[in-house]
Amino acid sequence: MANMFALILAIATLITGIIWCVDRFKLAPARRARLAELAAADDVAIDKTLQEKVKQPGWIETCASIFPVLLVVFIVRSFIYEPFQIPSGSMMPTLLVGDFILVEKFAYGIKDPITQTTLIPTGHPKRGDIVVFKYPPDPKLDYIKRVIGLPGDRVIYDPLSKTVTVQPGCADSTTSCTSALPITYSDMAPSDFVQTYDSNGSGESSTGFLQVPPDRQVQGGVRLAERTENLGNMSHQILQVPGQQDQVGMYYRQRNQQLAEWSVPAGHYFMMGDNRDDSADSRYWGFVPERNLVGKAVAIWMSFEKQEGQWPTGVRLERIGAIH
């Protein structure tokens, strides 16, 4: 189920909340009254012996004590901030495997944590935002990508130069598009990242990414190239594998559109990863509906040195802070 943890947390909060209310407003007054009766009948002061006779059951005490904690966790996680871990390298170099991020849940609306129905609209994604969303082909999975196209945009990706063109307000195929968003790129430069590969019976498969200074070589690895993408007033770094060709035949083909061109429908967004040659994004599976949006990634609160699917080997304290 897409929001199983949220559902379990909500049920646990509800049950402990009911027990807390029953104890506070019914059982506790009854215990106090019983305690007063015993003291009056024996004509003694209330002491530990009498208190033990009317002590609340242990399970009620436990549930009542954990309810405030569950309530705070439920409110914060459901409506304010939720922690996520970056499991893959698709958003490198902005986000690395092992980064733990905070996602602002109220950035795009206050939502029902179970059904993800928007209760109070608070805003919409902007180009360049890094967004966590429910993966449209399988909403049980959480994905994180950068917003490239807004509703009404026409997005064109050149698989040879690996550049993006965005034409705002041009989703209607009958509209003549004459203007484009000013998107510029810096020159390519060697990055600090090397993608490693392992040979198997069916070819080569990626085994991970190493952060190695450009003047050092890594056996069996490919040095990635890095450049700045200026998306309107938002600038960020992107990675590419030198010489690698896009799998254009696997691109999502939108009806009445040319290959590698997409018109973003109303209420949908076009997402791409910053690691352009190692990102399964809207180029391959299409658009993200607004109802799938979880929130905006705003900060890294912890970062571990690790590879995908492996245990951490260290801590990267220098990465803690706001996401740019």
Is residue 14 classed as helix, strand or coil in its secondary structure?
A: helix
CA-based R_g, the chain, Å: 27
How many other CB atoms sit within 10 Å of the CB of residue 141? 11
Q: How far apart are CA 166 and CA 323, in angstroms?
A: 24
Q: How far apart are CA 300 and CA 282, in angstroms?
A: 25
Tokens 């922690």 -> residue: 83
The residues, ordered by sequence, that sit 6+ positions from 197 with a Cβ below 8 Å of its Cβ are: 204, 205, 206, 207, 220, 221, 222
Active site residue 145: yes
Contact 264, 153 (CB under 8 A): yes
Of the candidates 131, 249, 163, the one whose C-alpha atom is nearest the C-alpha of residue 155 is 163
Residue 81 C-alpha from the chain's centroid: 11
- Of the listed 78, 90, 263, 279, which one is catalytic? 90
- Of the listed 105, 111, 134, 145, which one is catalytic? 145
Q: How far apart are CA 81 and CA 319, in angstroms?
A: 19
Active site residue 26: no
- Catalytic residues, which ones? 90, 145
